[in-house]
Amino acid sequence: MADIYHFSAPGRTEIGGNHTDHQHGCVIAAAVDMTTTAEVVLNGANVIRVDSEGYKPVEIGLNDLTIKESEKNTTAALIRGVAAAFAQRGYKLAGFDAKVKSTVLPGSGLSSSAAFEVLIGRILNGLFADNVISDIEIAQIGQYAENVYYGKPSGLMDQMASSVGGLVFIDFNDPKTPIVEKVDYDFAHSGYTLCTIDSGADHADLTDEYAAMPIEMKKVAKFFGKEVLREVDEQEFYAKIAEIRKETGDRAVLRAIHFFNENRRVQMQVRALKNDNFDAFLHYVNESGMASWTLLQNVTPAGYIEKQDMAFTIALCQQLLGGEGAIRVHGGGFAGTALAFVPNEKFEQFNTAIEAALGSGCCHKLAITE
């Protein structure tokens, strides 16, 4: 009987740093107790077969790991991209069958795609690379697959949080060698419940909205002859803001303002946690949420009038929290989930009201895990 190998990768929650990673900024993120797992057997063929519970099986051949335009935005592209990255590093791959189960819900804002990329990376690392590839490099391989093969210009935060685990501060100033620092704080003793609330909106057909954020921020950077906003001097940005508006348009300028403020705010959040000042931390979470809504503008897709699921979700949560706790858009935005910190004594009442408005099972309690 063939040996069975077991692998897993957690989902992630973005605690702070909304759309800062692709501009080489800072984030605070955490791995959570929703996990993607795989049972793997070598199949003696030159193909990778992945059978994910609830989805059609996917198969890719290892004899051709080039980019396939027909696979863009598919699971096959992610698998092929991760495999290609290992092959490029000189590792000899062989075929395997993987049965995958996941409690990281698609569209949950917990980055099911990043968890899947990290999972495939861990499988290849364990079976064919003697686990010599670091957690950081596994994350970079996942990002490569998503950017180049899948066709989504994401940053590195999602993969890094899933791969490294725990609560982490990450500085992407040099994305090839990001600074990763574990943050020693136990949210379980904060007096608040960490949860995500599913807005009911779908991420499908929003790729252009997501892509516009890094594109517009980079337009502002290009005005200064730079590639990303982290390289731009903030004082110089404000000194030339009238000229930049004419060159890039207002939304790009507002998104740049968001980046400068959010990047600074992440470091303030980390400082608050290190100083055990949870009230200050919550203040920054709320500030971040409002900035994403008004400056980054990733709560409601452009032109959506009748359907504003995320805006409704955040507004309702604000009302229910009554000035306590915190609420913000979570992850990419526009659809998926909001992230909330709810006082423990209010959680049952909060959960009941949210589910009455958005549907049973829309609120998910989270715990940070290694």
- Closest-CA residue to 29 (of 173, 182, 140): 182
The Cα–Cα gap between 317 and 321 comes to: 6
The Cα–Cα gap between 325 and 278 comes to: 10
Helices (H), 13-52: none
Q: Tokens for 94, please give them.
A: 């062989």
Domains of the chain with CATH codes: 5-182 (3.30.230.10), 187-365 (3.30.70.890)
Q: How many CB atoms lie within 10 A of CB 31?
A: 26
When mean pLDDT is compared across 49-63, 107-121, 267-281, the lowest value belongs to 107-121
- At 201 the pLDDT is 78
pLDDT above 70: percentage of residues in the chain? 97
The answer on pLDDT for 110 being more than 70 is no
Q: How confident is the model at residue 105 (pLDDT cuts 50, 70, 90)?
A: low
Residue 140 or residue 201, greater confidence:
140
- Closest-CA residue to 138 (of 154, 155, 114): 114
Helices (H), 11-134: 75-88, 112-128
Can you tell me the mean pLDDT for 180-199?
A: 92
Can you tell me the mean pLDDT for 73-86?
A: 96
The answer on pLDDT for 63 being more than 60 is yes
- At 188 the pLDDT is 86
pLDDT digits 0-9 by tens, 51-60: 999 889 999 9
Cα of 332 vs its chain's centroid, Å: 7
Q: How confident is the model at residue 172 (pLDDT cuts 50, 70, 90)?
A: very high
Establish how many alpha carbons lie within 13 A of residue 200's alpha carbon, considering only the half-sphere containing its beta carbon: 15
pLDDT digits 0-9 by tens, 279-333: 999 999 999 999 999 999 999 888 889 999 999 999 999 999 999 999 999 878 8
The answer on pLDDT for 108 being more than 70 is no
- At 65 the pLDDT is 97
Q: How confident is the model at residue 334 (pLDDT cuts 50, 70, 90)?
A: confident
- At 244 the pLDDT is 98
The Cα–Cα gap between 303 and 305 comes to: 6
- At 370 the pLDDT is 74
- At 203 the pLDDT is 61
Can you tell me the mean pLDDT for 159-187?
A: 91
User: Would you call 117 helix, strand, or coil by DSSP?
Assistant: helix
When mean pLDDT is compared across 125-134, 151-160, 260-269, the lowest value belongs to 151-160
> Residue for token digits 């526009």?
334
- At 88 the pLDDT is 98
The Cα–Cα gap between 9 and 122 comes to: 8
The answer on pLDDT for 229 being more than 60 is yes
Q: Tokens for 222, please give them.
A: 């290009």
Q: How confident is the model at residue 277 (pLDDT cuts 50, 70, 90)?
A: very high
The Cα–Cα gap between 34 and 10 comes to: 6
Q: At what angle do helices 135-144 and 157-164 cross, to 10 degrees?
A: 150
Q: How confident is the model at residue 106 (pLDDT cuts 50, 70, 90)?
A: low
DSSP state of 293: I
Q: What is the mean pLDDT of the chain?
A: 93
